[in-house]
């Protein structure tokens, strides 16, 4: 589904991603962990198509197409979804109109007619139920004045509505209360199928107890320096990252 | 230098015309003095006059512009409905070339509001008290021209304690066979403890040439009274507007002004001057403009904080497209006695086209020491982060931009408290932004 090869990217001339290799197959859940500033959100941004990042080397194949060649909207329409670490507030754009526009633009891309009002509302209701998302937030401006946790939940709710093939969730757990974490995880688990995949960026093992990953990767200094199974997350939780940094220093030539 | 010659000829031609038709027109005795003051100020202002630096009006006053007394053609209800959007559940005053048309109007209850032609209101005590008395009216070129040449207009007086529930819609229609100057003149007096909302718009009737509407309104908001004025500048393509609204607020009064400029007109200049004469007043000014093509839209506002404990709040926003020009100038004077003043001003602009031009100038002059004042102006594009967020959800770039520009506008229209007006303005704004 997703095949990242030797991906290098820079912001304003600063190299941030320095050779990422990652393969995600349908049905899989991958967790990406790593210290602050290691490049996790940058990887997510590059995959979603943020224009401030310049890809300097490497390739990304998404469902047989060149992802890097697509505009952000085409990536979304092809089935990529990014739940943001910091969802933005957009005053004046109503949540519900925004969603309707997004759903219908994605449908139009696939040659489908716009959704009927009734069908849209039914879908809205069922996904609200799935994610236990407060219906009152639907009629407000997009994320405006939402609490930190509400913004995160709104992003996940959008994910449920848009039914992506590959969802990248950037620190969705930070800011969620204990109940919300459980609710959101249960929702994600229900969305999981053999046809879709998730890349979950997180700092904490706790989320991975709810959404059990098939693989765990450690991103450090723009590279994936270690990959393993869910046990790796437990080990990181216990020992932190220092032991990995030591290993890397031993491996790399001193600069 | 051809424009200079023409400009001189308008100013030079004026006294003779004035003598023939205007000097003895109606009850107002100050016409001659106003004419002299207009000429003393230099006549039609050139761009050398500070307040007219960015907007050159001289070409609008070519010597073929008619300034004779306007005729008033018969207008039918069907013509009215074709020319203007009627607000439901509102009182309605319709004027043709500045003259109130009873047969097209639905007056508010006489027990609450006195409405009459200004030309017939000369003996009203409120007219004697307030007409042509606004502070600084002598400093404004076009107000002086209006005082010399006005023919008619509205006199609206809301009785003390009268709460007028339904808004009063005022529709100004203009008809002329050739290029001409209209000088409508209005006086609005809201007495102690009264409350009223006035929604004004203007439209042309089959105009074949450009007309200049040099309108002056004086508005008095008495103690504890509330006045909301809406300027819906949504009409026609042959109209050029020079508007002046001089507002005086007395103690504990509330004044709201909404100015929406969403028009095909190639030139709009609004002057809103508010004088806070007594303590504990509250003032809100909201403006939104979309300028496209080669339009020039110019908003000049000023607020005089003369007394303590007054609060003024101003938010103007604009969208500039094509080769349009936008001007915003916001003056706030806080006089020495005006301690505990709160004065806020914001002007935000989206300059969509690289060929559009915007001049924005906040001018704060503060002579009291215990005040809270802030101002800010921004000129920019839509937020890249917001744009990316929408695109990352599958919304195409053009549509995403459109959503964000509308959001920028609807932040202002959301301040409108009359639902029908809000809907109307949002519809028109959408039309312009989709075009
Ligand atoms: N515009 C920019 N200019 C320079 N450096 C940048 C820019 N944007 C990001 N960076 C840098 O890129 C690095 C990676 O940032 P990124 O946000 O991807 O980290 P992260 O792994 O998501 O961290 P966190 O766990 O704190 O969310 C950081 O050092 C950051 O400062
Ligand atoms: Mg991050």
Nearest-atom number in ligand 1 for the CA of A219 is 21
Residue A37 Cβ < 6 Å to ligand 1: yes
Q: So what's the pLDDT on residue B346?
A: 96
In a mutational test of the pocket of ligand 1, which residue from A10, A12, A14 has the highest number of ligand atoms less than 8 Å from its CB? A14
Residue A16 Cβ < 6 Å to ligand 1: yes
| DSSP string for B359-387 | EEEEEEEE--SS-EEEEEEEEE---HHHH
Distance from CA of A82 to the nearest CA of B (A): 7
Contact (Cβ atoms closer than 8 angstroms) between residue B315 and residue B285: yes
The burial class, CB within 10 Å (0-12 / 13-18 / 19+), for B399 is middle
- Higher pLDDT: B346 or A233? It is B346
Q: So what's the pLDDT on residue A254?
A: 47
Contacts of B414 in chain A (CB under 8 A): 92
Confidence check: pLDDT of A130 > 50 = yes
Confidence check: pLDDT of A79 > 70 = yes
B109 CA to centre of ligand 2 in angstroms: 64
Whole-number percent of chain A with pLDDT over 70? 97
Q: So what's the pLDDT on residue A253?
A: 53
Instruction: Identify the CA nearest to A213 among candidates A194, A197, A236.
Output: A197
A242: part of which helix (H) or strand (E)? Answer: helix A242-251
Q: So what's the pLDDT on residue A149?
A: 86
Instruction: Identify the CA nearest to B256 among candidates B233, B231, B279.
Output: B231
Contacts of A77 in chain B (CB under 8 A): 394
Chain B contact for A83 (CB, 8 A cutoff): no
Chain B contact for A12 (CB, 8 A cutoff): no
Query: Are the Cβ atoms of B396 and A48 closer than 8 angstroms?
Result: no
Residue of B394, B407, B409 with shortest CB distance to A102: B394
Q: Could you tell me the two tokens for A108?
A: 């139009």
Q: Are strands A197-201 and A215-220 parallel, antiparallel or unpaired?
A: unpaired
Residue A36 Cβ < 6 Å to ligand 1: yes
pLDDT along chain B (435 residues), means of 10: 52 87 88 95 94 92 82 95 94 97 97 97 96 93 96 97 98 94 97 98 93 97 98 89 98 98 95 98 97 96 98 97 96 96 96 94 94 93 93 95 90 93 93 82
Q: Which ligand is nearest to the CA of A43?
A: 1
Interatomic CA distance for residues B18 and A38, integer angstroms:
79
Q: Which residue of B has its CA nearest to A109?
A: B394
Distance from the Cα of residue A230 to its chain's centroid: 18
Nearest-atom number in ligand 1 for the CA of A203 is 25
pLDDT in tens, A139-157: 888 999 998 888 988 999 9
Average pLDDT, chain A: 91
Contacts of A98 in chain B (CB under 8 A): 390, 393, 395, 403
Query: Are the Cβ atoms of B407 and A92 closer than 8 angstroms?
Result: yes
Instruction: Mean pLDDT check: name the lowest of A36-50, A53-67, B6-20, B328-342.
Output: B6-20
A35 CA to centre of ligand 2 in angstroms: 9
The burial class, CB within 10 Å (0-12 / 13-18 / 19+), for B357 is middle
Confidence of residue A249 (pLDDT cuts 50, 70, 90): low
Distance from the Cα of residue A25 to its chain's centroid: 15
Q: So what's the pLDDT on residue B420?
A: 95
Give nearest CA residue, ligand 1 atom 1: A11
Q: Which residue of B has its CA nearest to A85?
A: B389
Q: Which residue of A has its CA nearest to B391?
A: A73
Query: Are the Cβ atoms of A76 and B394 closer than 8 angstroms?
Result: yes
Q: Could you tell me the two tokens for B272?
A: 């809103």
Q: So what's the pLDDT on residue A135?
A: 85
Query: Are the Cβ atoms of A158 and B390 closer than 8 angstroms?
Result: no
Check the CA dihedral A44-A95-B286-B254 and report its sign.
Answer: negative
Nearest-atom number in ligand 1 for the CA of A45 is 18
Contacts of B401 in chain A (CB under 8 A): none
Q: So what's the pLDDT on residue B8?
A: 53
Chain B contact for A84 (CB, 8 A cutoff): yes
Q: How confident is the model over A96-108, as a mean pLDDT?
A: 95
Query: Are the Cβ atoms of A91 and B407 closer than 8 angstroms?
Result: yes
pLDDT in tens, B239-283: 999 999 999 999 999 999 999 999 999 999 999 999 999 999 999
Chain B contact for A159 (CB, 8 A cutoff): no
Query: Are the Cβ atoms of B414 and A92 closer than 8 angstroms?
Result: yes
Distance from CA of A229 to the nearest CA of B (A): 30
Residue of B388, B399, B403 with shortest CB distance to A72: B388
Q: Which residue of B has its CA nearest to A91?
A: B407
Whole-number percent of chain A with pLDDT over 90? 70
Residue A38 Cβ < 6 Å to ligand 1: yes
Contact (Cβ atoms closer than 8 angstroms) between residue B249 and residue B281: yes
Contact (Cβ atoms closer than 8 angstroms) between residue A53 and residue A11: yes
Three-state secondary structure string covering A176-201: CCHHHHHHHHHHHHHHCCCCCEEEEE
Rounded (10°) angle between helices B384-391 and B397-413 = 120
Bridge partners, B129 (sequence order):
none
**pTM (2 decimals)?**
0.83
Distance from CA of A89 to the nearest CA of B (A): 8
Chain A contact for B77 (CB, 8 A cutoff): no
Confidence of residue A251 (pLDDT cuts 50, 70, 90): low
A217 CA to centre of ligand 2 in angstroms: 15
Residue A42 Cβ < 6 Å to ligand 1: yes
For chain A, strand residue ranges (E) read 2-11, 14-24, 29-33, 53-62, 65-66, 80-83, 90-94, 141-142, 166-170, 197-201, 215-220, 223-228
Q: Under 8 Å CB-to-CB from B381, ≥6 apart: which residues? A: B350, B351, B352
Q: Could you tell me the two tokens for B15?
A: 């006294």
Query: Are the Cβ atoms of B389 and A84 closer than 8 angstroms?
Result: yes
Nearest-Å Rg of the Cα atoms of chain A is 18
Give nearest CA residue, ligand 1 atom 19: A37
Residue A40 Cβ < 6 Å to ligand 1: yes
Look up tokens 């939780």; give the residue. A237
Query: Are the Cβ atoms of A92 and B390 closer than 8 angstroms?
Result: no
Q: Which ligand is nearest to the CA of A16?
A: 1
Q: So what's the pLDDT on residue B237?
A: 81
Distance from CA of A61 to the nearest CA of B (A): 18
Q: Could you tell me the two tokens for B168?
A: 């009063």
Interface of A with B in 28-47 (CB under 8 A): none
The burial class, CB within 10 Å (0-12 / 13-18 / 19+), for B266 is middle
Interface of B with A in 373-402 (CB under 8 A): 383-386, 388-397, 399-400
């Amino acid at each position: 589904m997703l095949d990242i090869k030797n991906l290098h990217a820079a912001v304003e001339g600063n190299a941030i991603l320095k050779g990422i290799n990652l393969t995600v197959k349908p049905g899989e859940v991958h967790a990406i962990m790593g210290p602050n500033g290691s490049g996790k959100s940058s990887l997510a941004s590059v995959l979603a198509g943020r224009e401030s990042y310049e890809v300097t080397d490497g390739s990304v194949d998404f469902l047989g197409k060149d992802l890097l060649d697509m505009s952000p909207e085409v990536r979304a329409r092809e089935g990529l979804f990014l739940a943001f670490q910091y969802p933005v507030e957009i005053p004046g754009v109503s949540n519900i109109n925004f969603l309707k526009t997004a759903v219908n633009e994605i449908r139009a891309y696939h040659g489908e007619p716009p959704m009927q009002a009734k069908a849209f509302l039914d879908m809205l209701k069922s996904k609200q139920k799935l994610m236990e998302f407060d219906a009152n937030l639907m009629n407000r401006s997009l994320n405006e004045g939402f609490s930190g946790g509400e913004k995160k939940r709104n992003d996940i709710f959008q994910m449920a509505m848009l039914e992506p093939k590959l969802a990248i969730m950037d620190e969705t757990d930070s800011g969620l209360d204990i109940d919300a974490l459980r609710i959101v995880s249960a929702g994600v688990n229900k969305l999981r199928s053999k046809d879709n995949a998730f890349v979950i960026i997180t700092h904490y093992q706790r989320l991975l107890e709810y959404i059990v990953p098939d693989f765990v990767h450690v991103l450090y200094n723009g590279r994936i320096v270690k990959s393993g199974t869910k046990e790796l997350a437990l080990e990181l939780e216990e020992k932190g990252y220092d032991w990995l940094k030591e290993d890397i220093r031993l491996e790399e030539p001193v600069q | 230098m051809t424009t200079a010659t023409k400009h001189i000829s308008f100013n030079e031609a004026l006294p003779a015309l004035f003598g023939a038709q205007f000097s003895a027109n109606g009850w107002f005795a100050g016409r001659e003095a106003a004419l002299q003051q207009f000429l003393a100020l230099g006549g039609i202002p050139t761009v050398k006059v500070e307040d007219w630096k960015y907007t050159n009006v001289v070409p609008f006053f070519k010597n073929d512009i008619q300034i004779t007394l306007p005729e008033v053609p018969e207008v039918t209800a069907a013509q009215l409905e074709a020319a203007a959007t009627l607000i439901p559940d509102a009182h309605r005053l319709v004027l043709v070339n500045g003259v109130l048309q009873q047969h097209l109007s639905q007056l508010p209850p006489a027990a609450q509001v006195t409405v009459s032609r200004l030309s017939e209101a000369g003996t009203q005590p409120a007219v004697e008290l307030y007409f042509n008395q606004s502070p600084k009216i002598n400093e404004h070129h076009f107000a002086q021209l209006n005082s010399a040449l006005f023919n008619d207009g509205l006199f609206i007086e809301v009785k003390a304690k009268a709460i007028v529930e339904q808004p009063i819609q005022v529709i100004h229609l203009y008809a002329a066979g050739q290029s001409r100057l209209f000088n409508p003149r209005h006086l609005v007096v809201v007495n102690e403890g009264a409350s009223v909302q006035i929604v004004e718009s203007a439209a042309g009737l089959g105009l074949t040439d450009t007309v200049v509407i040099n309108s002056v309104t004086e508005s008095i908001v008495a103690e504890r009274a509330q006045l909301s004025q809406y300027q819906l500048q949504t009409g026609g393509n042959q109209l050029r507007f020079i508007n002046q609204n001089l507002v005086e607020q007395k103690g504990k009064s509330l004044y709201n002004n909404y100015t929406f400029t969403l028009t095909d007109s190639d030139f709009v200049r609004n002057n809103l001057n508010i004088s806070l004469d007594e303590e504990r007043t509250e003032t809100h000014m909201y403006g939104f403009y979309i300028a496209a093509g080669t339009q020039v839209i110019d908003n000049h506002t000023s607020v005089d904080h003369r007394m303590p404990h007054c609060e003024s709040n101003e938010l103007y926003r604009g969208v500039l497209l094509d080769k349009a020009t936008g001007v915003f100038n916001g003056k706030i004077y806080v006089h020495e006695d005006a301690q505990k003043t709160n004065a806020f001003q914001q002007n935000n602009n989206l300059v969509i086209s690289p060929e559009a031009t915007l001049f924005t100038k906040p001018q704060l002059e503060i002579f009291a020491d215990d005040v809270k004042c802030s101002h800010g102006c921004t000129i920019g594009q839509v937020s890249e982060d917001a744009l990316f967020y929408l695109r990352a959800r599958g919304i195409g770039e053009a549509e995403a931009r459109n959503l964000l520009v509308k959001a920028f506008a609807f932040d202002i229209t959301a301040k409108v408290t009359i639902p029908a007006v809000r809907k109307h303005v949002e519809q028109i704004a959408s039309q312009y932004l989709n075009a």
